[in-house]
Copies of this chain bind each other. A is one copy, B any other.
Amino acid sequence: MSGNSTGELFRLTSFGESHGPAIGGVIDGCPPGLALSEADIQPWLDKRKPGGGKHVTQRQESDRVRLLSGVYEGRTTGTPIAFLIENTDQRSKDYGAIAEQFRPGHADYTYWRKYGLRDPRGGGRASARETAVRVAGGAIARLVLNSLVSKGVLIQGALVQIGARAIDDQRFDWKQVSKNALFCPDAKTASLWDEDLARVRKAGSSIGAVVLVEAQNVPPGLGEPVYDKLDGDIAKAMMGINAAKGVEIGDGFAVASLTGEENADEMRIRKGKPVFLSNHAGGILGGISSGQPIRVRIAFKPTSSILTPRKSIDLHGQEVEIITKGRHDPCVGIRAVPVAEAMLALVLADHLLRHRGQCGTILK
């Protein structure tokens, strides 16, 4: 209950600090009989890995995942799946100077107020390094979804805004996402962002971003009203990603300006099956998936580590000026794309099992 587990039936428990010996996790509740090896997880970690693009932190981590349990002869056994990622590039000296100061925008002050002490090495537990655990867990969640849903569940993410510059929705193309280092679905905007980020980096500054995540082929019926609605759990999962400050489902804040007529997703029968004529709802009605694509947008604040001095205090109550050197992304939103995908996979896998537990129906 101290919050390092997520999910009810398909549950990930996470541990580890940025500069401790290792990070890792335990998946409890995975269905038995699924084919699983490190090779199913590693590519997702590689996608998230810092050092991949020029705009993400220069920290070099091999991020090799190792399975410790729950798999026998290449199949999940239904017992807990533990995985470990050793921390190989710790360089604690980078951070030593600020062990007693509270970096603005970081969790330094609040961890210290909460626990009375904190691990200052690289942000400790509050470091975005922990998101590697989410990505590994999400990789296993994808296997569950693809195993239980006949068509497979396709979860994709993209960066749709950096700073004030959003993509052009007319040019949105999922295929572009893997073709640039910024997960941008709009090739033209991608190159503009490249310039924007070069400028930001040169200034020792940072900038915010918006991520879009979408899940296709989600069976209708997932979500537990009224307090564990599917959109509620998605909102929690996304807002819990480091630096997230806003979450939208479907039209999100734009619904405020809509009328009931505009917002209604009308339905017709096509080839004998129900179809929706629009998707303002983002695939969720009354907290339950409708079968339409689930669409989520998440806002990420700019990286708090910048080279311009900011006013702060230290743990002795002295006023200080802080510059955060070190290896940092100018835009944390970039690496948040695979993390947001993973969180959506985790939420959906959990709700799939929860639904099957109570309702037992074959999902289509």
In the complex, whether A44 has a CB less than 8 A from a CB of chain B is no
B31 touching A255 by the CB < 8 A rule? no
Interface-side segment among A111-119, A170-178, A186-194? A111-119
Chain A residues with a Cβ closer than 8 Å to the other chain, count: 158
A308 touching B261 by the CB < 8 A rule? yes
Q: Which A104-143 residues have C-beta < 8 A from chain B?
A: 104-107, 109-111, 113-119, 121, 124-126, 130
Interface of A is mostly: mixed
Say which residue of B115, B228, B249, B358 sits within 8 Å of A359 (CB atoms): B115
- Of A72, A124, A280, A333, chain B has the most CB atoms within 10 Å of the CB of A72
List the B side residues contacting A303 at CB < 8 Å.
Answer: 260
In the complex, whether A200 has a CB less than 8 A from a CB of chain B is yes
Q: Which A2-44 residues have C-beta < 8 A from chain B?
A: 2-6, 8-9, 11, 13-17, 20-24, 26, 28-33
Say which residue of B8, B109, B239, B357 sits within 8 Å of A285 (CB atoms): B109
Q: How far is the CB of A158 from chain B (nearest CB, A)?
A: 14
B359 touching A78 by the CB < 8 A rule? yes
Of all chain B residues, the one with the shortest Cβ separation from A312 is: B267
In the complex, whether A183 has a CB less than 8 A from a CB of chain B is no
Q: How far is the CB of A323 from chain B (nearest CB, A)?
A: 11
Q: How far is the CB of A150 from chain B (nearest CB, A)?
A: 14
Interface-side segment among A45-53, A56-64, A268-276? A268-276
Interface string of A133-163 (1 = CB under 8 A from B): 0000000000000001000000000000111
Say which residue of B113, B205, B206, B272 sits within 8 Å of A221 (CB atoms): B113
Q: How far is the CB of A20 from chain B (nearest CB, A)?
A: 5
Measured CA separation A310–B260 after assembly (Å): 10
Of all chain B residues, the one with the shortest Cβ separation from A24 is: B82
Measured CA separation A337–B356 after assembly (Å): 33
List the B side residues contacting A232 at CB < 8 Å.
Answer: 235-237, 239-240
List the B side residues contacting A306 at CB < 8 Å.
Answer: 259-261, 264
Say which residue of B236, B257, B290 sits within 8 Å of A163 (CB atoms): B257
Say which residue of B110, B263, B265, B282 sits within 8 Å of A290 (CB atoms): B110
List the B side residues contacting A105 at CB < 8 Å.
Answer: 260, 263-265, 281, 285
Query: Given the known A-B contacts A68-B15, A272-B317, are A299 and B115 also in contact in the complex, defined by CB atoms under 8 Å?
Result: no
